[in-house]
Amino acid sequence: MAIKRFDVGSWLDSPLSRRRLDLSQFARERAAVADICARVAAEGDAALREFGERFDGWAPREGETFQVPQSDLVAAANRLAPADRSALEFAAQRIRDFHSKQVQPASSGPPGLKLVTRPVRRAGVYAPGGRAAYPSTVLMTAIPARVAKVPEVVLATPPSADGSVPTAILAAAYIAGVDAVYRVGGAQAIAALAYGTASIPRVDVVAGPGNIYVTLAKREVFGSVGVDGIAGPTEVMVIADAGARPDFVAADLAAQLEHDPLAWAVLITDSAALADRVEEELRSLVSGLDRAKIINAATCCLIVADDLEQAINLANDFAPEHLLIVAADAGRMATQVQNAGAIFVGAYATIPLGDYAAGPNHTLPTSGAARFASPLGVYTFLKRSSVLSLNRGDLEMLRDATVRLAALEGLTAHAHAVDVRLE
């Protein structure tokens, strides 16, 4: 396993410290995605069937559809092992409770002015397949849409070669209240949700993670549809003092690295001895894990800082997706964090709790986007409109400033539209 060691100076001098989502290296994939999206927009279901055969090994035959029968969702929930269903329902309730706190009351300004918040009419959520099935992603995307009171929520997910969808995915869709599940994956799924086909309705917002093709497709269709964000590989940063348990720290680093060979894990500590111990623990742990090959291909960095204040500054600059703070003064340090998708405080706040059952969303800004972006939430599925209900007195009060500013910009028709009402 390649573990890179840095002091603060060498870290800041390294391009790794300035990592950002760079899609320019994927020119071939971008061209392929642009073609897929254009084909789906122009040819609809015919293109979906062709790409389904090519990429998923399945497309609906005579008498079949892309949509999974609703009865299959109910059957999947009933077929799931009771302990597994209980875990999904427990997580779903905590996710629902947490996201319910994001619902904002109506707001108003001066008389005659108010802000109206409405849900989008239809949301499309995506659950990736491939290396694993992710029922947790179904919960994390569909439940906030439901809390936002989106009237219709649909799910797209890749099928197996026989057209089946994992039982856990269908069960999660049932528990989350998804209206329809479509057996289509990859860039073609994002395009279908964005543009609509005869079989799959056009949505207003697409949310959910995926591989590079899904990421590029979300970028391609943005503008025709809203998207939750353009995500890069998953990442974790841990800030730990000398008192942190090295086996705990190593476990959290490995937990995120097992997602993807492109994943990131960074430890910042003020203790060179802890960095040594964590490296030892990590190498020992990874050798016995099922996904050791993936972890060994990922990026892992250990940074020895002068002190923990410096560590916080480095974290704010890096803006990690997940930030875990394990230190004697972790609570105070957490208040100094300005840029992070999710902050985990204390030795027992392990990141997988946030991935599954704690309640906050696990779809988070990556690649430094936490500098300006937020986790997926209820607000992802809401839009706002300003309402101006003004009378003649309001017009007279606003007239002088409006006419003067219109003249300043040379827009005389704007000024006339005001003055004609006062003649």
Whether 416 is catalytic is no
Does residue 394 contact residue 112 with C-beta atoms inside 8 Å?
Answer: yes
Report whether 158 contacts 130 (CB < 8 A).
Answer: yes
**394 CA to centre of own chain:** 43
- Half-sphere CA count of 335, side-chain side, radius 13 A: 3
Angle formed by the axes of helices 27-43 and 212-221, to 10°? 60
Per-residue exposure over 127-161, b if at least 16 CB sit within 10 Å of its own CB, e if not? bbbeeebbbbbbbbbbbbbbbbebebbbbbbbbee
Q: Please pick, among 309, 322, 362, 423, the residue that the annotation labels catalytic.
A: 322
Are 21 and 369 a contacting pair, CB within 8 Å? Answer: yes
Contact 73/181 with Cβ under 8 angstroms?
A: yes
Beta bridge partners of 83: none
The residues, any chain, with a CB within 8 Å of residue 168's CB and separated by 6 or more, are 76, 80, 84, 88, 133, 135
The set of residues, in sequence order, having a beta carbon less than 8 Å from that of 142 and lying 6+ positions away, is 125, 153, 155, 173, 176, 177, 178
User: Is 322 an active-site residue?
Assistant: yes
Question: How far, in Å, CA of 129 to CA of 133, rounded?
Answer: 5
Q: Given 321, 409, 416, 423, which residue is catalytic?
A: 321
Catalytic positions are 321-322
